[in-house]
Amino acid sequence: MTETHQPTIDWDEYWRTADADDHESATPSAHHVREALADLVAETDGLDSFADVGCGPGVVTFDVAERYPDADVVGYDAAEAILDENRERAADDGLDNVRFERAVLPEFDPDRQYDLVLCYGTLAYVTETEQALQNLYDAVAPDGHLVLGYVNEFGAAQFRAQHADLQDSDDPRRDPDEYAERFGLVMAEESTLSFDVVRNALGTWPHSIWEIAAKPEKRWAWGHVPLVYVPKPEATVQ
C-alpha cells in the first residue's frame, strides 16, 4: 500500500477495492474533457507530449495516447493501485507511447516539461493549492498549456447540499461520513479555486476552455467545475 496525500481518503485503498460504480464516481473527466482537449490541440500547434496529473483510470490519458500516437504521454497518480491497473491496460492494448508514474501533489517535479499538462478533478483533494499550481505550471513547456478542472465556490455549495441530502438516505453506498471524508476539503472551501486564485499563483490569467470548445449542456461542467487553460509564454530569445 502507498500513502496518498492527507487529509482525504486513502486513494490507494479506494482504487484497490473499486467496483464499476466507484470507477464512474471518480472519473469526472469522462463527461466532456476528451473532446474539449482535442479542440484545444486543434487550435494550437499539435501535441508532442502530454501529462495527466491525478489521472485515475486514465480516461483522458488513454484517449490522448490513442488520438496522438506520436505523442509521448504520461499519466501520474498518487495511488499505485490505479497505476498498476493502467500499466496492465496499456500493455494489453499494445500502446507503447504511454506510461504511468507516481506523483503526489502538491509535489510534482518531473525531469522534463510537456506541451500540455492536465489536472482534472484532483486539486479538490489537495490543500497546498498554490504550490501545486506552480509545480504543475513549471512542468509546462514554453508555448504550451496547463489545463485545470477544479471545483469553485458554487461547486462547494453543491457538495454541501448533496451531503445534507445524504443524512436522510438509507442507501448504504451513500454514507454521509464517507462522503464528508472524501469531499471535506471542498465542502470547507479549503481546496476550491477561482480565476483569481489561479492568476495570483501563476501570474497569468486562465481562459475558459469553452471559448474555443463546444460548451456541454450540463451546467456543472462550466458553472461548478470550470475547465480552464493557462497558456505558458513562449521562450524569449536572448
Ligand X SMILES: C[S@@+](CC[C@H](N)C(=O)[O-])C[C@H]1O[C@@H](n2cnc3c(N)ncnc32)[C@H](O)[C@@H]1O
Residues near ligand X (CB under 6 A) are 4-5, 11, 26-30, 54-56, 59, 77-79, 82, 103-105, 120-122, 125-126
Which residue's CB is nearer to ligand X, number 11 or number 179? 11
Residue 172 phi/psi, 5-degree rounding, is -60, -20
> Min. distance of Cβ 182 from ligand X in angstroms?
9
Nearest distance from C-beta of residue 102 to ligand X, angstroms: 8
Least Å distance, CB 235 to ligand X, is: 28
Please state the closest distance from residue 77 (CB atom) to ligand X, in A: 5
Cα–Cα–Cα angle for 199, 56, 7, rounded to 5 degrees: 65
Closer residue to ligand X in complex, CB, 78/228: 78
Which lies closer to ligand X via its Cβ, residue 25 or residue 200? Answer: 25
Closest CA to 185 of 129, 146, 223: 129
Among residues 131 and 204, whose Cβ is nearest to ligand X? 131
Which residues on neighbouring strands pair with residue 96, listed in sequence order?
none
234 within 8 A of 142, measured Cβ to Cβ: yes
DSSP per residue over 24-78, as a string? HHT-GGGGTHHHHHHHHHHHTT--SEEEEET-TTTHHHHHHHHH-TTSEEEEEES
The residue number whose beta carbon is nearest to ligand X equals 56
